[in-house]
Amino acid sequence: MRIAILDDYQGVALKMADWSRLQRAHEIVVFRKPFAGADEVVRALADFEVISAMRERTPFPRSVLERLPKLKLLVSTGHWNAAIDVKAAAERGIVTAGTPSTGHAAFELSIAMLMCVARQIHVEHQSVREGGWQVGVGNDLFGTTLGVIGLGRIGAQMAKVGRAFGMKVIAWSQNLSEERARECGAQRVEKAELFSKSDYVTVHVKLSERTRGLVGAAEIALMKPTAYLVNTARGPIVDEKALIAALNEGRIAGAALDVFDIEPLPADHVLRRTPRVLLTPHIGYVSQASYKDFYGGTVKAIEDWLAGRPVDHPLKG
């Protein structure tokens, strides 16, 4: 049987779990670079029965699944993957599975990015690397207001750490109740109030049709000129063009982005030249513990399926 491991950007997949039993009996092929599009996906994967997908790096809509006649098992890292059409896979007899996930890696990166933009660590680092010294005056977290969009698992952790930093925490999402906000140590406010009162806004909702463009030009226009936006959730939740315009015009103090409309971010993308923005390459879940859970879970899912056992983590799409 042929097994494909996709989007192993760092070349570490085979080191993060024990693939030896599978390697002895089956052919494993690792793909390190992203595919250019659906046609390339189909050409590369047409002869594989098993595919291991890393999060949402490679989409598998119905139109792609229909062109992979040999595919029998599609394992995605994590419990949930909006880029895989789970229903279409089931209709074609393709088993889909997810894996365990640590749940703390993305939260930790969110905190790191929040602190980085507050103290402008990336700017001061670049100055020192270029032979300079201090170039600015950092901002405080203590005594400021943290606006959290979404109080799920990650948002609740952000609220907790915000309080530990001495921040006032306010929150909003489309279904957020006052009771849930209180449980997380936050005050529920309306959307406009969150954007107008926050010194730092962090985004922690899932991408869906309801949340696409949730942070648009109108919301960004409400932000203080001294405020920062941090997005480690999904790129399309924030109107990229509106954010770029605000950064270029200095209407907000800055932003920190780990996610983008197009990933990997094209080499000539305007964000690479936009001022007042910290960029990281979607590394929210890229950590030792996460990868060991991801790939360890992938190996187990494949072995369970080969043995005729049900998968532990059915994939949610």
143: nearest Cα among 163, 113, 120: 163
Neighbours of 254 (CB within 10 A): 23
User: Is 32 annotated in the active site?
Assistant: no
- Look up 282 and say whether it is catalytic: yes
- Annotated active-site residue 125? The verdict is no
CA distance 317 to 314: 10
Choose, from 55, 57, 282, 313, the residue flagged as catalytic.
282
* CA atoms of 88 and 271, how far apart (whole Å): 35
Catalytic residue among 188, 234, 240, 313: 234
Which has the closest alpha carbon to 8: 47, 50, 55? 55
C-alpha closest to that of 177 among 196, 150, 155 = 150
Phi/psi at 94 (5° precision): -90, 125
Residues 6+ apart with CB under 8 A from 251: 220, 221, 223, 225, 245
Catalytic residue among 122, 263, 269, 276: 263
Which sequence positions are flagged as catalytic?
234, 263, 282
